[in-house]
Amino acid sequence: MTWSRRADVTFVYPVTPAGNAERDAEVIRTIVRRTIVMSWDDPAKVITEPGTMSLTSHAVDMTNGGCSAPTGYFVPPFGTAKEQPADEAHQIDPCDRSKPIDTGNGTTATGNDCATATRS
């Protein structure tokens, strides 16, 4: 028998530019939703050690953390809020758990432009 568990967690990171100690410094909320599915296989059926788990799948969706291919680092768009065009055709709600994460990098619209977050 295989047991699996799914975690669906949303992290909110308030970030400011490095070295900016002013009281009215720009603050951007980077919102990251991660889903992870882990499985614990039966050692009688699968070659594994008892209690060992396996990563079955993972997905990430993010707003205000950068629009290019994931690098493992957040790249908030400091100072560009007024320059960001609102993309009416590609909007996402980073806090909406009624839908699965878009595994095609849901924060990226056609042409590598940022999607518009409906909440952030």
For residue 115, name the pLDDT band (cuts at 50, 70, 90).
low
Query: What is the reported pTM?
Result: 0.69
What does the pLDDT read at residue 20? 66
- Alpha carbon 94 to its chain's center: 8
Give the containing element (helix H, strand E) for 40: strand 28-40
How far apart (Å, rounded) are the C-alpha atoms in residues 78 and 28? 7
- pLDDT reading at 3 higher than 80: no
- pLDDT reading at 37 higher than 80: yes
Amino acid sitting at position 35: T
% helix, strand, coil for the chain, step of 5: 0, 35, 60
**How high is the mean pLDDT of the chain?**
76
What does the pLDDT read at residue 84? 59
Q: What's the rounded mean pLDDT across residues 16-30?
A: 79
How far apart (Å, rounded) are the C-alpha atoms in residues 38 and 75? 28
Percent of the chain whose predicted confidence (pLDDT) is above 90: 1
46-92, pLDDT tens digit by residue? 787 777 888 888 888 888 887 777 677 888 888 776 665 566 667 77
For residue 24, name the pLDDT band (cuts at 50, 70, 90).
confident
Task: Note whether 106 and 115 are within 8 A (CB).
Answer: yes
φ/ψ of 63, rounded to 5, equals -125, 150
